[in-house]
Amino acid sequence: MAVAHRQGALTPWRDPGEPVMSRKTVPLTLDNLDGLPQPCQHCLFWQLDPVRRDRLDAEESACEKEAWISEVLREWGSCGRVAMVDDEAVGYLIYAPTAWVPGVSAFPTAPVSPDALVLTTVYVDPAWTGHGIGRLLIQGLAKDLIKRGEVRAVEAFGSTREQGLGHCVVPAGFLTRVGFKTQRAHPTHPRLRMELRSVLTWKDEVEQAVERLLGVVRPKRPAPKTAPGGLPPARGGLS
């Protein structure tokens, strides 16, 4: 396994060409915050308004970011997922109710719908672009929120500019590929929405399809032989 320390990348790093043992997402906590890329550890694009952001230096911003995550975790619950490949972090995303995301007000397609929370940031290590990490993160988000049963939908402000999953605003093209639909159009920053009910319905349909498939290939049990008088044979001992 190769280990590299690159500016702006998550560490430790794994060569995408090496065999993959497992992929999963885990909640974003203060314990794994240090695993985020350096710019992301102190970026407050979504957490503070522009005036307050400009007053802080890098060290103060990092402390403010940690305090923000701590407060959301305490008051609301999990607000992010980290993608793990063989126990190594390769990406993350952050989401929260609008009350904790004042940066939303700067977008021309604001406000977010009252029944939705905001997906703010999606980051994937450049070495893992094209390996399904972004979709894995969205699936982790959906599973978390469906399990909690508190939210009907997730909305995000997309960017139509050509950029990867490492900027403060998520590319609109990525959002549409993973199940978001345009809620309010805009040339550069459309607002998109993903209904959690549709994700749950899709999950149920897949499970039902699997059950039908198993029912076709599963061997049928032979009908029990009947005893004299039409009664089924006795069980659990000799008759």
Q: CA-CA distance, 167 to 142, in Å (whole number)?
A: 21
User: Does residue 225 fall inside a structural domain?
Assistant: no
DSSP lists the bridge partners of residue 158 as: 170
Q: Are 175 and 158 in contact (CB under 8 A)?
A: yes
User: Does residue 67 fall inside a structural domain?
Assistant: yes
Q: How confident is the model at residue 2 (pLDDT cuts 50, 70, 90)?
A: very low
User: Does residue 63 fall inside a structural domain?
Assistant: yes
- 43-74: pLDDT as tens digits: 889 998 888 888 888 888 889 999 999 999 99
Domain CATH code at residue 183: 3.40.630.30
**Strand, helix or coil for residue 196:** helix
pLDDT at 109: 97
Q: CA-CA distance, 25 to 184, in Å (whole number)?
A: 30
- 180-219: pLDDT as tens digits: 999 999 999 999 999 987 765 544 444 454 445 455 444 4
Task: Give the largest CA-CA distance in the chain.
Answer: 91
User: Does residue 86 fall inside a structural domain?
Assistant: yes
How many other C-beta atoms lie within 10 A of the C-beta of residue 156? 27
User: Does residue 7 fall inside a structural domain?
Assistant: no
Single-letter residue type at 47: Q
User: Does residue 77 surpass a pLDDT of 80?
Assistant: yes
User: Does residue 79 fall inside a structural domain?
Assistant: yes
User: Does residue 239 fall inside a structural domain?
Assistant: no
User: Does residue 16 fall inside a structural domain?
Assistant: no
Total structural domains in the chain? Answer: 1
Structural domain boundaries, residue 79: 23-215
This prediction's pTM: 0.74
